[in-house]
Amino acid sequence: MYEIVKAHPLSEAVFEMWIRAPQVARNAQAGQFCIIHPDKAGERVPLTISGTDGDLIRLSFMAVGTTTKLLASLSAGDCLRDVVGPLGMPSDIAKGPETVVVVGGGVGVACTPIIAQAAKDAGNHVIGIIGARNKSLLILEDEMRAICDELFVTTDDGSYGIKGFASGPLQTLCESGRKIDKVWIIGPGMMMKVTSGVTKPFGIKTYVSLNPVMVDGTGMCGSCRVTVGGKMKFACVDGPEFDAHQVDWDDLLARQRMYVPEEKQSVEYHDAHHECRCRKVA
């Protein structure tokens, strides 16, 4: 069993928890993930490792499905049945000096600090861009501001920071003539597709962290297959980070929608039979 040491909401629908998992924490690197199994009746869920502290790992997630709603109802002192990791390949972070940009959208912002910190520790100049639909949904601004050399904040509705999407400041940086060596983009599939299109004309190496349906996380089931550069890859062992300009986005987005009816049915059943204990933002 893996103890939840800390758990709290980051925004209205995004939660984070710190879990005692010494072996995972000791070996985890930026870009990797783990598979958690909340209880014996629950499903296996892949979540990116968004931070480590001693023998603790941080997991962040949006409570939208049956299992993530269950996770959001847990508190410090509760335990998870299994935590398997670290899985996947770590981020391709080179020793600096390089100028790198780390872009996060929505819940994807939760995965940006660990990459930004690793890039900073390697001697790179780190520019952060984080965005959300509105100010109330923006997360981890203070943490990113403490890590990054420069930080741009956007909101879709203009309620805070720069009005518009995270792709806006990235477009401005690319057009400014500044030398940018690498870009990481993490967020919803469509956001990553659109934002990575900004860097393509400039030939900037761009990575995205893909999140297809995943079951075992070891390459055995094949459910997380994605098409990259015209070849089939498994996100769990070949990724989860891939060259954004080589990803078949239409294939990825279609696969992400494969089980929407079943997911909706599961949530409806869960909501009808369980009282929601999700913590609310004060």
Nearest to 111 by CA among 102, 122, 98: 102
Same domain, 123 and 205: yes
The domain boundary, picked from 57, 89, 121, lies at 89
On whether residue 109 sits in a domain, the answer given is: yes
Rounded Cα gap, residues 43 and 272, in angstroms: 19
User: What is the separation of C-alpha 44 from the centre of its chain, rounded to a whole number of angstroms?
Assistant: 17
Residues in the chain: 282
Same domain, 113 and 179: yes
pLDDT classification of 260: cutoffs 50, 70, 90: low
**Which residues are known binding-site members for [2Fe-2S] cluster?**
221, 224, 236
Nearest to 248 by CA among 202, 210, 200: 210
Residue 53 has pLDDT above 80, yes or no: yes
pLDDT digit string, tens, across residues 152-175 = 999 999 999 999 999 999 999 999
The domain boundary, picked from 175, 209, 243, lies at 209
* Residue 158, domain CATH: 3.40.50.80
Domain count, the chain: 2
On whether residue 161 sits in a domain, the answer given is: yes
Give SS3 for 281: coil
pLDDT digit string, tens, across residues 98-154 = 999 999 999 999 999 999 999 999 999 999 999 999 999 999 999 999 999 999 999
**Which residues are known binding-site members?**
221, 224, 236
Give SS3 for 199: helix
Give SS3 for 209: strand
Same domain, 130 and 189: yes
Phi, psi (5° rounding) for residue 8? -160, 160
On whether residue 36 sits in a domain, the answer given is: yes
In this predicted structure, what is the pLDDT of residue 279?
47
Same domain, 189 and 119: yes
The domain boundary, picked from 70, 89, 108, lies at 89
On whether residue 215 sits in a domain, the answer given is: no
Tell me if 45 sits within 8 A of 36, measured CB to CB. yes
Rounded to 5 degrees, what angle do the CA atoms 212, 46, 107 make? 80
Same domain, 41 and 118: no
Whole-model pTM: value is 0.87
Tell me if 154 sits within 8 A of 161, measured CB to CB. yes
On whether residue 277 sits in a domain, the answer given is: no
**Angle at which helices 189-199 and 167-175 cross, to 10°:** 10
On whether residue 217 sits in a domain, the answer given is: no
On whether residue 269 sits in a domain, the answer given is: no
User: What is the separation of C-alpha 163 from the centre of its chain, rounded to a whole number of angstroms?
Assistant: 22
Rounded Cα gap, residues 82 and 227, in angstroms: 30
On whether residue 71 sits in a domain, the answer given is: yes
Average pLDDT, whole number, for the chain? 89
Tell me if 34 sits within 8 A of 50, measured CB to CB. no
The torsion region of residue 192 among left (phi > 0), alpha (psi -120 to 50) and beta comes to alpha
Percent of the chain at pLDDT above 90?
Answer: 70
Q: What is the residue range of 47's domain?
A: 2-89
| The two structure tokens encoding residue 115 | 């990459």
Q: Give the pairing type, strands 99-105 and 125-132.
A: parallel
Percent of the chain at pLDDT above 70?
Answer: 90
Amino acid present at 259: Y
* Residue 65, domain CATH: 2.40.30.10
Q: Is 140 exposed, middle or buried (0-12, 13-18, 19+ CB in 10 A)?
A: buried
